[in-house]
Structure 1
Amino acid sequence: MKKQYLFILIPLIIAGCSSTSETQKENVNNESEFYLFDDVENIDSVEAALPVKSEDKKDSVNQNRVENKQHELDDADKKNDKFIIQLGAFSSKERAEIFIRENQDKISYLMTIVRKQQNNLYVVQIPPFQNRADAESVRNTLWKIIAFKDAFIVTE
């Protein structure tokens, strides 16, 4: 009886190990193609400007945060910062060029590729805006297009 269990158990173990190896091989082949957004510190955040429903005491704290955020935004406008809308980031220049070819006709702004040295990514952007309000307006319009639903604002 024990021999029968061994004859059944050994092929099952071997089959289980071989399928794991095949899965690992597939994962290695798929790693070369990926879509990644640039990890930028100066990301426009809508969450910081949204008030949180809570008690009156907490509402006043949130209001102060919103006012501070608005003050920071005004300071950024005064510093002559440029507000750039980033549409995507890619691991290869070819992927960025394909993205532009497929989507350039959807917007009137010229898309450009910029290589970021710190993370070795090819970033697709549109020309900079002089103030945040204009950049936010364009970004909100871009969000309505599926290809640009992840667009965000960076400052330089």
Structure 2
Amino acid sequence: MKNSSLNFKRIYMRKLQFAVFVLIAIFFTHCAPSEQATKESNDQNEVYVFDDADIDSSSVTSPPPPVVEEPVVFEKKTVVDSSVAERYFIVQVGAFTSEDRAKKFIAENNSKTEFNLSYRYSAKVNLYVVQLPPFTTRAEAEIVRDKMWTIKEFKDAFIVP
């Protein structure tokens, strides 16, 4: 009995050694270095260009001459007015990437303030800005801005000169 269990262990060990050997062989044959894998992937993307072809000069055309337009010159007029030019101060309460979002913001929040909210596209910032009507003095705009800060939706309001 002792002999058969010893035989069984030897057979088991040989099978185990064989399995380990096969796994190691598979591991080393299927694992390629990263340089080799990179080189193989780059080889697939290479395109051979035939560079010894003669150029047919009849099919080659020169680019058309550039068109030079004369600059438009506007007369510069200086308007001198005895009164000081009016300057407005606008309280801005939002800025959005889409017109729909600006409209939605106005629809949801117009009832929360006594002023009419309006929007316009500002090319300067590439956004649709939501603003209050303009004020003639900065002090007036600051008072309204401070009121707007008390409303959660308008906490980021600021004055645009």
Question: Could you tell me the TM-score, scaled by structure 2's length?
Answer: 0.47
Question: Could you tell me the TM-score, scaled by structure 1's length?
Answer: 0.49
Structure with the largest fraction of helix: 1
Give the greater-gyration-radius structure (CA).
Answer: 2
